[in-house]
Amino acid sequence: MLACVLSCAILGLDGAVVHTEVDVTNGLPSFIVVGLPDTAVQESRERVQAAVKNAGLSFPHRRVTVNLAPASLRKEGPAYDLPIALGVLAASGQVPLAGLEGAMVVGELSLDGSVRHVRGVLPMVALARREAIPRMYVPAVDSREAALVPQVIDVAAFTVQNAFEVNYQTAPGETVVLVNVGAAISNINIVKDKISMFTRDVTIGGNAFTEEVQKQLNVSHDEAEAYKVGGTLDEHGVVPQEVERIMESVAEVMAGEFQRSLDFFLATSAEANVTKIYMAGGSAKIGALHRAIEKRSRLPVEILDAWRRVQPDPKLDPAFLRAHAPEALVALGLALRAPGDK
C-alpha cells in the first residue's frame, strides 16, 4: 500500500514542499530511504522504528521504501522523522490516510515516540500558507512560533537579493552568489531562479581592514578608514606602501572564509552551477578583496550597482549615489519590501 505525507525542506529562510511517499509491500524485511537524504535523514530509520514500537504500534515486518520527492532537492535534518513514521503507519493500515490529506507534517522523533523541536518552523508555516495547505502539524514546543504571522522579514542577505532581482537578470537555472560585506559581519546568499538555496553569516567584515591598518601602522581610526578606501589623511597625500600589503593579507583571510562557505554549498548541493559572484557593501569596492575572491573561487566577480535599473529621486546628488551604489543595496531592498510579500 502507498501513502504520501507532505513535509518541507528549508532553503535558506525559504522552504519547498516535500512529498514523503511510503510504500509497504511484501518481501524481505527492509527499510530504505531515497530522495537525496543526508546522514540525519538516513538515521531516521532507526528513530522511526524505535518510536513506532515504543508508542505501542507495530512497525511492518515487510519491505518499506520511503521516497522524499523531489529527488533533486537535498533533504537535511531530522524533521522528516514524523512524516516518515506517519506514512509508514498509514501505508500499513494502522492510521487512516484521510486524516493526513491536506496537511503538512514536521517533527523529530525521540526513541520513546515523543516529538521533539525542529528548526525553521516559521518559514515552513509561511510556505504552507503560500501553498494554500490548510493544516500543519508541528511539535507542541514549536506551536508558538508556528502561530506567528510573518509580515516583512528584513534580513540583510534577503534585502540584497530583493535589490539584486530588481536590477539584474539571470538565466533560468543559473546560480549566483551574493556577498554583502558588512562592517563586522558579512552575509553570503546563494540564489538560483530567485530562490535562496544557501545562506550563511561570516563573522568578518570591512572593519578587519581598518583594525589591521591601525594596528600595523599605528594610525588613527579615521586615517585607517581613509587608507582602506584608497584615500589618505596624510598632509602629503601619500598612501604608505605597507597599506597594500596589509590589505592583501586581510583580503586573503576574508576570501578564504567566503570560499569555505561556497565549498560547503557545492559539496552538499545536488545541482550546482555557480556562474558569478556579486558583491555589495562598502568594502566590496576594495580591489584587494575583489582580486582575492576571484582568485580563490575562479569565478568572475562584479560589484553590485543599486541604481542599475532603479531611477532615484532627481533631487538627490547623483555623484554621491554613484559613489555609494554598493552600500545602498540593503537600504533599497528594504524600501522595496511591503506587508504581504512572498
92-114 per-position pLDDT tens digit: 999 888 888 889 999 999 999 99
Per-residue pLDDT at 80 exceeds 60: yes
Confidence of residue 33 (pLDDT cuts 50, 70, 90): very high
Note the Cα 251 to chain centre separation in Å: 24
- Supply the pLDDT for residue 222: 85
- What is the per-residue pLDDT for 156? 65
Task: Give the best-scoring range by mean pLDDT among 8-22, 51-65, 202-216, 233-247.
Answer: 51-65
**Burial code of 144-157, b = ≥16 C-beta within 10 A, e = fewer?**
ebbeeeeeeeebbb
With a CB cutoff of 8 Å and minimum separation 6, the contacts of 220 are 214, 233
Fold of 2-146: Ribosomal Protein S5; domain 2 (3.30.230)
Residue 216: strand pairing partners: none
The answer on pLDDT for 238 being more than 60 is no
With a cut of 80, say whether residue 235 has pLDDT above it.
no
φ/ψ of residue 54, rounded to 5: -75, -15
Contact 283, 211 (CB under 8 A): no
- Nearest residue to 224 (alpha-carbon basis) of 207, 245, 241: 207
pLDDT, residue 16, reads 86
**Strands of 135-137's sheet, edge to edge?**
30-34, 63-69, 14-25, 2-11, 103-105, 135-137
Listed in order, strand segments (DSSP E) in the chain are 2-11, 14-25, 30-34, 63-69, 103-105, 108-109, 115-116, 135-137, 175-181, 186-192, 195-202, 274-280, 301-303
Torsion sign across C-alpha atoms 262, 263, 266, 267: negative
CA–CA gap between residue 225 and residue 243 (Å, rounded): 11
Composition of the chain by helix, strand, coil, percent to 5: 40, 25, 35
Class (C level, CATH) for 156-336: alpha beta
Per-residue pLDDT, averaged over 146-169, amounts to 77
**Alpha carbon 299 to its chain's center:** 20
Reported as a single tens digit per residue, the pLDDT across 241-290 is 788 899 999 999 999 999 999 998 888 876 678 999 999 998 998 989 99
Using the predicted structure, report yes or no on whether residue 39 has a pLDDT greater than 60: yes
Structure confidence by residue, pLDDT tens digits, 201-229: 888 899 899 999 988 988 888 888 888 87
pTM value is 0.55
Residues with Cβ within 8 Å of 256's Cβ and at least 6 positions away in sequence, in order, are 296
- What pLDDT does 149 receive? 58
User: pLDDT at position 233, please?
Assistant: 45
**What was the pLDDT predicted at 231?**
52
Label residue 125 exposed, middle or buried (CB < 10 Å: 0-12, 13-18, 19+): buried
Task: Please list the residues that pair with 67 across neighbouring strands.
Answer: 21, 34
